[in-house]
């Protein structure tokens, strides 16, 4: 089995608060196999009392040229996250699927909007290798 999903996942935790609208940029490097789906991010909101906050909005700001991006709703069950010993909260999980028989590079951007209006542009650079292995 590949590395645990925690190692491959990108966690975005936002404490709900009133903030001025601002935009931050984050860059990620991802490896994928052609024709295969890889998880690129997990997005949730955890309050200081370990309960769920409002989920962020996610928008595909720049589509990939050689694959597709999808987002699914899920439940995040984890232990020892921040000050929380155990959590069970809703989350969004983002996936990238490279086109079959494509080798090379691809890129896309997600715009994540948190409660209070803070925005984050997440740029993903994907290295795609042929076959099943990465």
The per-residue pLDDT for range 65-99, each reduced to its tens digit, is 999 999 999 999 999 988 899 999 999 999 999 99
> Does any domain span residue 96?
yes
Q: Identify the helix (H) or strand (E) that includes residue 6.
A: helix 5-8
Residue 15 lies in a domain: yes
Please give the tally of structural domains in the chain: 1
Based on the number of CB atoms within 10 Å of its own CB, is 41 exposed (0-12), middle (13-18) or buried (19 or more)? Answer: buried
Contacts of residue 21, Cβ cutoff 8 Å, sequence gap at least 6: 117, 118, 119
CATH number of the domain to which 105 belongs: 2.60.40
Establish if 51 belongs to a structural domain. yes
Residue 7's contacts (CB-CB under 8 Å, 6 or more residues apart) are none
134 occurs within a structural domain: no
pTM above 0.85, yes or no: no
The mean pLDDT of 16-28, rounded to a whole number, is: 63
* pLDDT beyond 80 at 2: no
Domain that holds residue 125: 5-129
In a domain, 76, yes or no: yes
């Amino acid at each position: 089995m590949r590395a645990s999903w925690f190692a491959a996942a990108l966690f975005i935790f936002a404490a709900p608060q009133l903030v001025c609208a601002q935009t931050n940029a984050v860059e990620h490097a991802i490896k994928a196999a052609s024709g295969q789906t890889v998880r690129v991010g997990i997005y949730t909101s955890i309050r200081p009392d370990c309960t769920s906050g409002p989920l962020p909005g996610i928008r595909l700001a720049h589509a990939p040229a050689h694959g597709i991006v999808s987002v699914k709703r899920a439940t995040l069950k984890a232990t020892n996250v921040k000050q929380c010993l155990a959590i069970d909260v809703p989350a969004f999980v983002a996936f990238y699927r490279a086109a079959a028989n494509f080798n090379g590079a691809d890129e896309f951007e997600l715009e994540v909007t948190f409660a209070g209006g803070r925005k984050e542009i997440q740029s993903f650079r994907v290295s795609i290798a042929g076959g099943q292995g990465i």
